[in-house]
């Protein structure tokens, strides 16, 4: 996120786009963190296909 925050202003996006895209990126990284966390829902958890 830090790299995106540093570079997005140079592209001069509309303020609405910037806010919406930031929210999507945060959600994506939150979902990634949850999917890779140990325990249920993460690797090695119930339902993990081996």
pLDDT at 45 (0 to 100)? 57
**Residue given tokens 């993460």 in the structure block:** 42
pLDDT at 39 (0 to 100)? 74
pLDDT at 46 (0 to 100)? 59
- Write out pLDDT tens, residues 1-50: 889 888 998 999 999 999 999 999 999 999 999 888 887 655 665 555 55
The Cα 24–Cα 2 span in angstroms is 15
CA distances from 4 to 15, 27, 44 (A): 15, 14, 31
Residues 6+ apart with CB under 8 A from 22: 4
Determine if the pTM surpasses 0.85. no
């Amino acid at each position: 996120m830090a790299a995106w925050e540093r570079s997005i202003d140079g592209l001069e996006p509309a303020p609405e786009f910037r806010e919406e895209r930031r929210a999507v990126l945060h959600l994506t990284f939150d979902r990634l963190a949850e999917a890779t966390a140990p325990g249920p829902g993460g690797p090695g958890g119930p339902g993990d296909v081996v």
